[in-house]
Amino acid sequence: MAKKRILFVCLGNICRSPLAEGLFVEAVATQGLHARYEADSAGTNRYHTGELPDPRTRQNAESHGLALTHRARTFGRADFDRFNLIVCMDQQNVQNVLALARNADDEAKVHLMRHYDPEPGDGQVPDPYFGGADGFEQVYQILQRATLGLLSRLESDPSLKN
């Protein structure tokens, strides 16, 4: 069976989405599911293209034993062809991605990350970029829950459409 390909999307691709990618890959490895999933991340703006994740994101992830090596890249229309599921951190990311959708099939691939969080709060992963260290830890806790929630949804419903 072809691998299911998941793309995590935020604004800069240096804080939230590379951490979501790292946590999802970690959960896939822990559960022995490498053969079934691939993950990547992208941002809807190009300000940080080529950069490693923000030092605060990397430090927080490393404090939880997770090393992040993703290099930021910009979301593009071709990503609709490469990925089965496009999981966005907030509504602005959803709007930016949907603006590039070509048809209803593209649109149906776009989801909000906190849809998979058992504690969904306001439905969005807050942008920690302009805040303090506690914001990065809050994002880590949200994304740890939501990535596990997403993986268990995918495992129980491989045709996941929402």
Q: Interface residues with ligand 4NP (CB under 6 A)? A: 10-16, 43, 47-48, 127, 129
Decide whether 96 or 149 has the Cβ nearer to ligand 4NP. 96
The dihedrals phi and psi of 100, each to the nearest 5 degrees, come to: -100, -5
8-state DSSP, 125: -
Q: What's the rounded Cα separation, in Å, for the pair 114 and 144?
A: 11
Among residues 65, 75, 54, the alpha carbon closest in space to that of 127 is found at 54
Among residues 161, 14, 16, the alpha carbon closest in space to that of 88 is found at 16
Shortest CB 31 distance to ligand 4NP, Å: 26
Catalytic-role residue among 15, 16, 40, 88: 16
Shortest CB 41 distance to ligand 4NP, Å: 9
Decide whether 70 or 109 has the Cβ nearer to ligand 4NP. 70
- Measured from each CB, the residue nearest to ligand 4NP is 12
Catalytic site includes residue 5: no
Catalytic-role residue among 40, 90, 117, 127: 127
HEC-encoded secondary structure of 52-73: CCCHHHHHHHHHCCCCCCCCCC
Q: What's the rounded Cα separation, in Å, for the pair 55 and 62?
A: 10
Catalytic site includes residue 82: no
Catalytic site includes residue 15: no
Q: What's the rounded Cα separation, in Å, for the pair 62 and 67?
A: 6
Decide whether 30 or 63 has the Cβ nearer to ligand 4NP. 63
Shortest CB 49 distance to ligand 4NP, Å: 11
Decide whether 19 or 148 has the Cβ nearer to ligand 4NP. 19
8-state DSSP, 22: H
Shortest CB 115 distance to ligand 4NP, Å: 18
Give me the residue label for tokens 């260290």: 133
Catalytic positions:
10, 16, 127
